[in-house]
């Protein structure tokens, strides 16, 4: 099975955007590809044919030109406050859970089993799957409960690209620090890094790239410039997501924005090396 996972050094690093772009790039190359995020916390769902998943995975499916199904996002959490969330399982409301109950009673048993069944189903239907992580894989206090990052990459033997938002500062330290906090077996799954939201001449980053390669033995595979595009945002730091109507006009606009985004990303990544990374 061919698969590629996009993880980030933090929330808002650009995981969702990069997966969206990669889905369209591979679709344009003639592959049957599907997005996947095992667990997503969002107040913005996409309702279709009696089920609801995160709209981020629905938009990624539009980018991939694949069928929108519950398997793309088998677990969705809608936060209610006071550490409670509505848990949606395979597109259907399952139950209201406190974070303690979710992590200790659900996520490592029923949650993980459901997510694995979903990705196996997608694997059987497509040439490969592009997975999206959640937050950061280096949240070591939650590591044993994390089914959205390295545990999932390990289960499906997926190569991982780690993306970081350089506009916030501290990207080089975040890359090295994230890698250092992972178990060795998970470090080995990370094949390279992507610098996102850069303003300026990429030449000034080259000394940093060399230092990263020296420290981690892994390359920077691209630098994506800061770019204005109009796609519905996810709940994340500094984002101001809004509901949208899924009208034909809005869907056409989304498709046009996906095309622009994919062309920008393709022109700024070492795509031959990324293709070789995929198992």
* High-pLDDT (> 90) share of the chain, %: 83
Q: Domain boundaries in the chain?
A: 2-277
The string over 41-65, giving b where at least 16 C-beta atoms fall within 10 Å of a residue's C-beta and e elsewhere, is bbbbbbebeebbbbbbbbbbbbbbe
Q: For residue 144, what are the CA distances in angstroms to 55, 141, 147?
A: 27, 8, 8
Range 124-143 average pLDDT: 94
Could you tell me the pTM of the whole model?
Answer: 0.94
Question: How many whole angstroms separate alpha carbon 120 and alpha carbon 82?
Answer: 34
CATH no., domain 2-277: 3.40.50.300
Query: Does residue 144 register a pLDDT over 50?
Result: yes
Q: 46-87: per-residue pLDDT in tens?
A: 999 999 999 999 999 999 999 999 999 999 999 999 999 999
Range 164-171 average pLDDT: 94
């Amino acid at each position: 099975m061919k698969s590629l996972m996009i993880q980030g050094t933090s929330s808002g690093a650009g995981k969702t955007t990069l997966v969206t772009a990669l889905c369209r790039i591979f679709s344009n190359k003639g592959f049957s590809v599907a997005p996947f995020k095992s667990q997503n916390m969002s107040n913005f769902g996409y309702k279709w044919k009696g089920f609801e998943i995160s709209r981020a995975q629905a938009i990624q499916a539009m980018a991939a030109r694949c069928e929108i199904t519950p398997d793309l996002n088998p677990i969705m959490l809608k936060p209610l406050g006071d550490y409670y969330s509505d848990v949606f399982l395979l597109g259907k409301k399952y139950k209201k859970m406190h974070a303690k109950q979710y992590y200790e009673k659900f996520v490592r048993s029923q949650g993980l089993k459901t997510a694995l069944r979903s990705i196996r189903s997608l694997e059987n239907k497509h040439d490969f799957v592009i997975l999206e992580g959640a937050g950061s894989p280096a949240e070591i206090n939650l590591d044993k409960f994390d089914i959205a990052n390295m545990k999932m990459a390990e289960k499906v033997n997926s190569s991982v690209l780690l993306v970081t938002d350089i506009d916030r500062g501290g990207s080089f330290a975040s890359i090295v620090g994230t890698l250092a906090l992972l178990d060795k077996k998970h470090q080995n799954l990370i094949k390279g890094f992507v610098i996102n939201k850069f303003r300026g001449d990429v030449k000034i980053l080259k000394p940093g790239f060399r230092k990263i390669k020296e420290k981690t033995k892994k390359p920077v595979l691209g630098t994506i410039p800061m770019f204005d595009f109009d796609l519905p945002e996810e709940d994340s730091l500094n984002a101001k997501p809004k509901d949208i109507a899924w009208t034909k006009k809005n869907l056409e606009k989304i498709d046009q924005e996906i095309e622009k985004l994919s062309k920008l990303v393709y022109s700024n990544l070492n795509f031959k090396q990324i293709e070789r990374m995929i198992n």
